[in-house]
Amino acid sequence: MFLSALELRSIIESSFLPKRCQCTLSPDLSMTVKVYGDHETDRLDLLVTGINANSLNGCREINELIAELRHDLEHNVASHPVVLRSKPH
């Protein structure tokens, strides 16, 4: 991982604005991303766990992850309010 955990979290969380996004990183560099429906409720639209932050070694990998998460969000909000799955990125 070439960025600090704080920088990586900031990039991912800001990429989902105006939605609220919370990105957490565990000590083993396993990442969890939660995207909420809006700023007024705690309705969870997407939950992805088990993302390997070690594999995010550059802008391309980070952009690909964000694109995958946005794709999941778009398709899951329409069909299911929440998706809980592990993403071995």
Q: How many beta carbons lie within 10 A of that of residue 75, not counting itself? A: 12
Q: How many beta carbons lie within 10 A of that of residue 70, not counting itself? A: 14
What is the value of pTM for the model shown?
A: 0.81
30-34, 38-42, 56-60, 79-83 — most confident range: 30-34
Burial of 8 per CB tally in 10 Å (0-12, 13-18, 19+) = buried
pLDDT at 85 over 60: no
Note if the bond before 27 is cis, omega within 30 degrees: no
Domain boundaries defined on the chain: 5-86
Q: What is the pLDDT of residue 2?
A: 67
pLDDT classification of 4: cutoffs 50, 70, 90:
confident
